[in-house]
């Protein structure tokens, strides 16, 4: 797998664009400048790898646009050694960013073709990310509670089963709505109390 001077230059421009759009977490921006996004897109779409747009992958799914990855990650407030659950592995790009930020990442994918392809990619990259083939609605109780949960597909409501797998003080970030979604952050402030905030309009594939 190659990472050319051209690729690095395009990533630098991508990161500058993200900064102009309001992404302020410099540690996150450094990681996004380091990680070759073109490793995670289909070869046929290589020329578009650093455009700020979602791109199609297998099974009618997409790799989220860089700004979406950045805003969701920034809302998680990732710290080293955080345990993070991702629902919707997809291309693996989001999980890889979280891993590079120093988190322990657990990711679930329900499309078998995507699961197999992305697991092979993780192996090829030599990255230790826990992967699971299955229904993300159930979460991954074996490794709960989590510091953060990120859902990379749209849902009509917050899955309460996933909220219960957050630590006290933990954050869940997900798009909520039908057709277009509102990026929402849920913070677990006590055993039975949660606070929510909204962070813009996005468009995601639905949570199946």
Catalytic amino acids? Answer: 64
- Give the relative orientation of helices 26-34 and 66-76 as an angle to the nearest 10 degrees: 140
Contact criterion met (CB below 8 Å) for 108 and 132: yes
- Give the relative orientation of helices 93-100 and 26-34 as an angle to the nearest 10 degrees: 120
Phi and psi angles of residue 23, each rounded to the nearest 5 degrees, phi first: -75, 120
Helix (H, G, I), strand (E, B) or coil at 158: coil
109 vs 87, 95, 120, CA distance in Å? 7, 12, 14
Spatial distance between the Cα atoms of 86 and 94, rounded to a whole number of angstroms: 9
What residue has token string 């302020």? 24
127 vs 50, 54, 97, 121, 122, CA distance in Å? 22, 24, 11, 9, 5
């Amino acid at each position: 797998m190659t990472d050319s001077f051209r690729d690095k230059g395009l990533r630098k421009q991508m990161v500058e664009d993200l900064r102009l759009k309001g992404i302020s977490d410099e540690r996150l921006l450094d990681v996004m400048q380091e990680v070759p996004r073109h490793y995670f897109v289909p070869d046929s779409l290589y020329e578009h790898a650093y455009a700020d747009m979602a791109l199609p992958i297998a099974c009618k799914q997409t790799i989220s646009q860089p700004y979406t990855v950045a805003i969701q990650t920034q809302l998680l407030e990732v710290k080293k050694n955080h345990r993070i659950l991702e629902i919707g592995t997809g291309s693996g790009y989001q999980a890889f960013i979280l891993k590079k930020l120093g988190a322990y990442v657990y990711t679930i994918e329900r499309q078998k073709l995507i699961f197999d392809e992305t697991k092979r990619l993780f192996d090829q990259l030599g990255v230790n990310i826990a992967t699971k083939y299955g229904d993300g609605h159930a979460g991954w109780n074996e490794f709960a509670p989590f510091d953060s949960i990120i859902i990379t597909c749209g849902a009509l409501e917050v899955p309460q089963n996933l909220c219960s797998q957050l630590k006290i003080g933990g954050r869940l970030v997900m798009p909520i709505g039908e057709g277009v979604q509102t990026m929402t952050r849920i913070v677990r402030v006590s055993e039975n109390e949660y606070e929510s905030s909204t962070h813009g309009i996005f468009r995601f594939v639905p949570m199946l």
